[in-house]
Structure 1
Amino acid sequence: MKVLVVGFSKTGTKTMHVALKLLGYSIYDYEHNFFYLRNEWTKILTKGGTKEDFYNMYKDVDASMDIPVVVFWEEILEAFPHCKLIYIERKDEEDWMRSWQKQTDSVKTNYTMKMLSCFSPTAFSIFRYSRHVARCVFGSDSWLWCEAYQGISPTVAKKRYRDHNTSVLTRAPEKQLLKFKMTDGWGPLCEFLGQPVPETEFPHKNKGASLLEDWLKDNPVFLQMKFEMKIALAVVVALVAVGLYIFM
């Protein structure tokens, strides 16, 4: 692990994901953590973890971000003591809360996500992981993984956001920390990472909570879930057709 984005969810982490990818870093973002490391994270969240656990999880990855990684930034830094930290925040906690609520609402109203929860084995297997993460980060609970972050108390959410920011700003090693604003562009980021400035414009992702649409459209993890759902639905239709043929 070379870089850990320690800005909380909904502070520009998806934009930073694209920026780091353009700089050549391999990345584990939110979806990669639940797809590839959900068993390891479930163990950490329910039974505990060690420095060796975190090292083995991220030794072959250049960068990571978003929950639950960001909540355990100190433990990950202990496993990778020379890791560089990128801190991002929104203009205030009310602005952050509005952005968070908009994102969760986009999931809540998406029927494809609800269908995936019922007909994709991969999606269903993520259910327990998502519940543990939501409970750890926000103290929330749900019986559907696609609704794991619904019903969160705004007071609790804003406190978690505030406490996280305070934790990073007061305890992170100053020489390893970049306090970044999206308006800063490539310059400060590339200087901090020792990378040449790309010729392309600095990216801007997940504008207007478009992340879910992007995931469902071209993310390999979600494409696999959609494929599994189609197969499951085809099997259900076939069984119904056979049943009707036999009993009619």
Structure 2
Amino acid sequence: MAGLQVIGAGLGRTGTLSMKLALEELGFNPCHHMAEVMLVHTDRNHLFKKIYQEEDNIDAIKELFGGYVAAVDYPGCMFYEEFMKINPDAKVILTVRDSPEAWAKSARETIFMLNTVQSWLKRKVMIFVQVALNPRVYWIQQMMVKVHGVAPSEPKTDLAQMYTDWNKRVIETVAAEKLLIFNVKEGWKPLCDFLGVPVPDTPFPRVNSTANFKEMMSARVKKKMGVLLLKFVLVVSIGAGAAVLLTHFG
């Protein structure tokens, strides 16, 4: 954790996966991203509950992000202030969208899609499925509520205002000389100038559009639902078998 050199304070859906790939290409590798939570260090997921529940959670944060030299996206962006205390020489990048409304639209269609669900019952079912698919998501969402002061997935939450408040907070708490406000549309030069590294000859990464996200999540949900359905069938079958045995021999 002591090696963290770049701190991404921008919220998810601000080009953070493109930033992860860009930073790794520039030598800041590995870079933490929500993808790491889902696919790489799954053995660290128990730490989310610990971080949420404990007031003195620096050790758990160090363990969760240990081995990374950069961090972007959720959940890392929520800990940018803790990161700065641990790594005072690190530089901070606030990734942004063209407008708060543009970010809110993208977030509603992807990571905070429950924000649009008005039916209480439908929301509860979707939350149950979401937690069943990824138990660590529950604690990450609880941390979001603690950090933002609102629940991003609640229909009453104004996501554009949440985004605006967050960016204002980052700008007010990070020294100007250590902060880059960056839209991935700007490409390599401002990023490389800020980090003091050469501009690559390759194009700046452009990945994880809203369409890509929906396609990826649809595939993951179908796969996970198949596993859950199989488990459900097995449980029901075992229960039915036990009932038959009790009927005949009980």
- Consecutive unaligned residues of structure 1, counting only runs of 5 or more, are 142-148
Does residue 139 of structure 2 align to residue 132 of structure 1? no
TM-score (norm 2): 0.72
Q: Which has the larger radius of gyration?
A: 2
**Residue deviations 1:80-137, cap 9 Å, x none?**
112221112122222221121111338989x99976754x5xx2x3254144134224
Alignment partner, residue 41 of structure 1: 48
One-letter code aligned to 2:162: R
CA distance in 2, matches of 1:237, 1:199: 58
CA distance in 2, matches of 1:182, 1:48: 34
Deviation at 1:194, TM superposition (A): 3.6
One-letter code aligned to 2:11: F
Provide the alpha-carbon RMSD of the alignment: 3.8
What percentage of residue pairs aligned between the two structures are identical? 23
TM-score (norm 1): 0.72
CA distance in 2, matches of 1:235, 1:94: 46
CA distance in 1, matches of 2:109, 2:204: 24
CA distance in 2, matches of 1:48, 1:226: 35
CA distance in 2, matches of 1:32, 1:44: 17
CA distance in 2, matches of 1:207, 1:11: 10
Deviation at 1:201, TM superposition (A): 1.4
Does residue 11 of structure 2 align to residue 8 of structure 1? yes
Cα distance change of structure 1 residues 54 and 224 upon mapping to structure 2, 3 Å threshold: farther
Q: How many pairs are equivalent?
A: 232
Does residue 30 of structure 2 align to residue 26 of structure 1? yes
Q: 2:77 aligns with which of 70, 73, 78?
A: 70
Alignment partner, residue 186 of structure 1: 188
Cα distance change of structure 1 residues 203 and 114 upon mapping to structure 2, 3 Å threshold: farther
Alignment partner, residue 166 of structure 1: 168
Q: Retained in 1: the 8 A contact 2:50–2:60?
A: no
SS at match of 1:159: helix
One-letter code aligned to 1:197: V
Does residue 208 of structure 2 align to residue 200 of structure 1? no
Alignment partner, residue 177 of structure 1: 179
SS at match of 1:132: helix
Cα distance change of structure 1 residues 55 and 114 upon mapping to structure 2, 3 Å threshold: closer
Alignment partner, residue 101 of structure 2: 94
One-letter code aligned to 1:21: E
Q: Retained in 1: the 8 A contact 2:189–2:199?
A: yes
Cα distance change of structure 1 residues 131 and 201 upon mapping to structure 2, 3 Å threshold: closer
Deviation at 1:7, TM superposition (A): 1.2
Cα distance change of structure 1 residues 131 and 165 upon mapping to structure 2, 3 Å threshold: closer
Q: Retained in 1: the 8 A contact 2:98–2:183?
A: no
Q: Retained in 1: the 8 A contact 2:10–2:167?
A: yes
Alignment partner, residue 211 of structure 1: 213
